[in-house]
Structure 1
């Protein structure tokens, strides 16, 4: 099993030079790369992040399942350890998403976990009046629903 960690990109150089350091004896890891966008957007609230692989050799503390109340909980772990040396950390990639892509992908991951087909997911993504109304209210925009013969939101 591979373990991953994500962090805002401004921490990348420090992590690669100094390792992962925790003042609270907790380092958060996950084991399914598909969960990265969900963790970033729904737990850390960032849309740009760096992903690192943490070698098993660097894990000396106790691994506990992170009992988050979400569908991806089985992939999320808390490492009870204050430090993982830089030599046990490998940079995987940087990710950057716009807010529309985040909403679509985060929802799609959740719907797949619930057993929805791709056709059902696409149908839900195209017609979400309550989500769109709330987004317009919060952000002061005037988007309209996508209908069959339109190619984009206005």
Structure 2
């Protein structure tokens, strides 16, 4: 089960809500659907999410599954995301979405300095376990948005309304 509190918007497209559900569910079936290289015939939401391959992790000390990839929000724009499962009971844990303030700040900055499973030790420069990580109790999704913030790609968003529409 996934518990996400979404703000109410008139006529919010279902496909982006389904895409969000696919990203946050972390189930092997959902991830294999999202990872299709040839998504013709797949539901629209499956065409929207593309996972990066490989065994890369942001934090080697975290017990939660870590996934990274892109969400296609328009023909020219892809938002980068990092999704990390909760260390405790990820199937029943709440889920948060984090957007860095800015403009121009990557959400991964917060994941490595404030609320992610690891933080950078300023004395050594190495990563260490963050005892105050939000992912200790909740599933987290950090999104670099609007484009071209962080690892996201595409033309610059023209205003806050366009950014909100991209997210829906």
TM category (shorter chain) comes to under 0.3
Higher helix share: 1
TM-score by length of 1: 0.26
TM-score, normalised to structure 2, is 0.24
Which structure: larger Rg? Answer: 1
